[in-house]
Amino acid sequence: MSHEDVLNPNQLPHDPEKATLEGKNKFIGFWMFLGGETVLFASLFGTYLALVRSTSGENTPENLFGLELVFIMTMLLLTSSLTSVYAMYHMKNHDFKKMQLWLGITVLLGLGFLGCEIYEFYHYIHEYGFTFRSSAFGSAFYTLVGFHGGHVVFGLSWIVALMIRNQKRGLNLYNAPKFYIASLYWHFIDVVWVFIFTVVYLMGKVG
């Protein structure tokens, strides 16, 4: 396949994300990476679960966590997962404009999530004096949730960079795999969040 074909936005097969060898490689390689990320987050979850009772003073999970904010964050992130599914749907139908639109909505929802998380951390630190250094529980909590937050930041920057870069030239076989794996990454962030709100917040609240 010549370079012109790869970059031509008017000739797209179905499944443009897996039409080229590079695309197939990226697809498989990124799934492998997610397999590794599973172990990474499992190690963080394990550490958190081992240290969740190592609290100091009043700052226990039961006292700290407020469910309202976590509920809003969960809804934001879950919905953003659906909107990125919509984006990929339009990619498969070769409708670039709609794909960009839905990705844009995904980014907005992600930013909303991030804002809530920053507010939450700020709240803990200033209202409760609950910091990264205050106890082993604090270290483990901020590391686990912070790693997830870091993934959100990276995912958002990635999607925004791709959207701006390809705004003018539209979808082609070269960038379709990039959009696709960025959306996979975004879904994976949601997978991790499902366990965070269950294991950290809800089970922490149950005690």
Tell which positions 79-118 bind other proteins, by CB under 8 A: 81-82, 85, 89, 92-93
In the complex, minimum distance from the CB of residue 67 to other proteins, in angstroms, rounded to a whole number = 6
SS3 call for 188: helix
- Where does residue 92 rank: exposed (0-12), middle (13-18), buried (19+ CB within 10 A)? middle
From first CA to last CA, the distance across the chain in angstroms is: 59
Give the residue with the Cβ less far from other proteins, 117 or 189: 189
In the complex, minimum distance from the CB of residue 145 to other proteins, in angstroms, rounded to a whole number = 14
Q: Which of positions 163-192 make contact with other proteins (CB under 8 A)?
A: 165, 174, 178, 184, 187-188, 190-191
In the complex, minimum distance from the CB of residue 9 to other proteins, in angstroms, rounded to a whole number = 13
Stretch that binds other proteins, among 36-44, 98-106, 107-115, 117-125 (CB under 8 A): 36-44
Return the DSSP state at 18.
Answer: G
**CA 14 – CA 11 distance, rounded (Å):** 10
Q: Which amino acid is at 148?
A: H
Out of 78, 108, 111, 125, point to the residue binding other proteins (CB under 8 A). 78
**CA 112 – CA 76 distance, rounded (Å):** 7
CB 38, CB 135: distance < 8 Å = no
In the complex, minimum distance from the CB of residue 113 to other proteins, in angstroms, rounded to a whole number = 14
Does 33 interact with other proteins (rule: CB under 8 A)?
yes
Give the residue with the Cβ less far from other proteins, 33 or 128: 33
CB 197, CB 75: distance < 8 Å = no
Give the residue with the Cβ less far from other proteins, 29 or 115: 29
Instruction: Give the per-residue contact string, 38-77, with other proteins (x = CB under 8 A; - = no).
Output: xxxxxxxxxx-xxx-xxxx----------x---x--xx--
In the complex, minimum distance from the CB of residue 70 to other proteins, in angstroms, rounded to a whole number = 8
Does 137 interact with other proteins (rule: CB under 8 A)?
yes
Owner of token pair 């990264």: 132
How large is the angle between the packed helices 21-51 and 136-166, nearest 10 degrees?
160
Stretch that binds other proteins, among 37-45, 98-106, 114-122 (CB under 8 A): 37-45
CB 137, CB 51: distance < 8 Å = yes
